[in-house]
Amino acid sequence: MKFRVKDMDIATGGPQVVTLNNEDAEFLNIYHGDRINIKYRSRFTTSIVNIAQSEKAIKKNHIGMYEEVLRKLKIKNNYIVDISLDKKPDSVQYIKKKLNGFTLSDFEINEIVRDITENKLSDIEVTYFVSACHTNIMSMKETISLTKAMVTFGDVLRLKKYPVIDKHCVGGVPGNRTTPIVVSILAAAGLTVPKTSSRSITSPAGTADTMEVMTNVTLPIEKIKKVLAKTGACLVWGGSMNLAPADDRIIRVEHPLSIDSRSQLLASIMAKKASVSATHVLVDIPIGKGAKIENKKQALMLKRQFEQIGNHVGMKVKVIITNGSQPIGNGLGPALEARDILWLLKNDPKAPQDLKTRSVNMAGLILEMAGKSKKGNGRKKALDILNSGEAYKKFIDMVTEQGKKKINPEKIKPGNFSYEVKAGRSGKVKSMDNNNISKIARVAGAPNDKYAGIYLNKHVGDAVKKNEVLFTVYSNNKQRLNFSKEVKNSFIIK
């Protein structure tokens, strides 16, 4: 049956969706959430149906198309298309099987991941898959299958190099911007480090958000290969490429539900590493109140699982368990973290020493893993590279090749509006709540406002005098700043 296209000028951000007039839907016996096949000339796709209740939205014999469908079919407003009813994908039955507590086969997991990647499943169906894996925990065999499927149904950055290095932090700790420093040290030592990073979901900044203050992070694979060929490393946003794309959709539905499925966390991280052809990976698991992993028992279990998956995908994995009980570094928020990175690489006295120590330790371990240093000597070599200025030079080469923006830390200014939080009495900082600190920074505007965030003047264990500044909150929006003050006041700061 033929329908005239109406461009809805709306994007779903993933699933392919169309809208039919309710009378047309009734005539065709189509219901909300059904799938229809749409054909234009030799091009074909399957979409999920919404139903409009009147001709104000969609006229009879018209089909409202969202941007994803228009792009897929390469068509525009008023084009004529053919539609026919389609059945639900088999993967929906496999999701139901997992919901009922059964183990999925390699084939069934492959089909689910394929359909997620090709946007054949609705967000509701993907959410059911996430919930099923959260409630009926995946076995290690299923987790390995999920990892491999995520890699299979996506692009792979193939590099004719050995070793290829990557690192990852499980997360939950504000700041902790070790990646740019570690990557710079490793690349200066002659290693290949194709580092793809994420944007923030719940923290004041992700590595990609912070790097975007200093350089372009949205690069296609061919450009990344050129950057790697010239500098040996890159620091880019993984979402700009088609690496393990099913993972991006899974993360999107996990976030509103605050679901943290271990199997999907493991598969997500390891699939992204395999997608850049990594041979050696260091995984950092910070533990502490407010971190993603709060105790050592959970961390040790996760450590074993990372190593097990690494063995199955041909990757040497080393896992370290670190202190995640407070923010790392002084700046929290893209611009404030960018300043910390630049000060540290330039060996400026303003650089946060906790961030330096953590970065050098990680880089040293990787140098030993990759055979660039004798066991026990990696940290010294990493420190020498940092202190010599070689890491800073490599970082500048990298950001220049990617499209340099701001690299002078003194010219990276935080938001125009700010307030200070001062100590009510003298003493020592006893503890800090990662979640509360992140919430204040995000309400102030980070990471969307790259110059919003928090600058920490004190850390746990530091002596404090009455009325001394504990931290400063910045924003470019007065209303957001005032709201962050209300949020701050709801927390206990003694």
What's the gap between Cα 86 and its chain centre?
34
Residue 247 annotated in active site:
no
Residue 78, number of CB atoms within 10 A of its CB: 10
CB distance 224 to 127 below 8 Å: no
Closest Cα partner for 176 from 49, 79, 284? 284
CB distance 345 to 388 below 8 Å: no
Among residues 82, 260, 348, 462, the one annotated as catalytic is: 260
Helix 390-403 and helix 179-188, axial crossing angle in degrees, nearest 10? 110
Task: For Cα atoms 252, 256, 257, give the angle at the middle one, nearest 5 degrees.
Answer: 110
Residues in the chain: 494
User: CA 94 to CA 112: how far, in whole Å?
Assistant: 7
Q: Which residues touch 384 (CB under 8 Å, ≥6 apart)? A: none
CB distance 277 to 159 below 8 Å: yes
Q: Which residues touch 112 (CB under 8 Å, ≥6 apart)? A: 91, 94, 95, 104, 121, 129, 149
Q: Catalytic positions, please?
A: 260
